[in-house]
Amino acid sequence: MSIDTVVVSKDKLDMLMPLIAEQQYDCGKEVDLVTTRTFFESIADNGARFQMMAVEEGVAVGFVMVDPLPNLQFADKVAYVHDVYVTESHRGVRGIGASVIAAVFTECMRRGYEFAEGETEPDNRPARGLYKRMAQKLGIGCKEVASVRYLMDLRPGIERAHREPEYLDRIATPRLLSRLSARPGADS
């Protein structure tokens, strides 16, 4: 059995959707296939953004998403590689993760990206090793950059805005932000 890697186009979405639903379920998200499909239709065949999937016998077994990343530090074309996922039954089997990551980096180069940036948890040694091995095999550079990424949960604010229609306008005022930053320890 061989693994093929393909860029996801609109005509390949039916193959990808079960894997997307599985990934969302694994992440604890409520799966809404209509909304999810609409989202993926909007980004398929979209130039700089793309998704790569690994396929075995007509079934998607892995995927990666890529988005352009504005980067003032480099001021270059940077691809943000994210949501790397391999179906649980295929993890660690036949190098599916390596195949799809190598295909993504290759496609990024085809599309003119000068850098690719991705993240993983600091304790995810297999993923960290995978990126280093792929860089070596592809003859490209790989540098671990120490950083902290924030995931801000905006849902409580959205819920409050539904209850208090003026809430978002009230918190967006420069006066409020200056008062908050003037408090001791406000930036910690």
pTM: 0.77
CA gap 152, 132 in Å, rounded: 29
Q: What is the mean pLDDT of residues 12-18?
A: 92
The separation between CA 69 and the C-alpha centre of its own chain, rounded to angstroms, equals 11
Same domain, yes or no: 131 and 175:
no
Quick check: is 143 in a domain? no
Residue 64 in this model has a pLDDT that exceeds 90: yes
Q: 183 versus 154: which is more confidently predicted?
A: 154
In a domain, 145, yes or no: no
Domain that holds residue 80: 3-138
> What percentage of residues in the chain have a pLDDT greater than 90?
28
Residues 133 and 160 both lie in one domain: no
Is 176 found in the same domain as 96? no
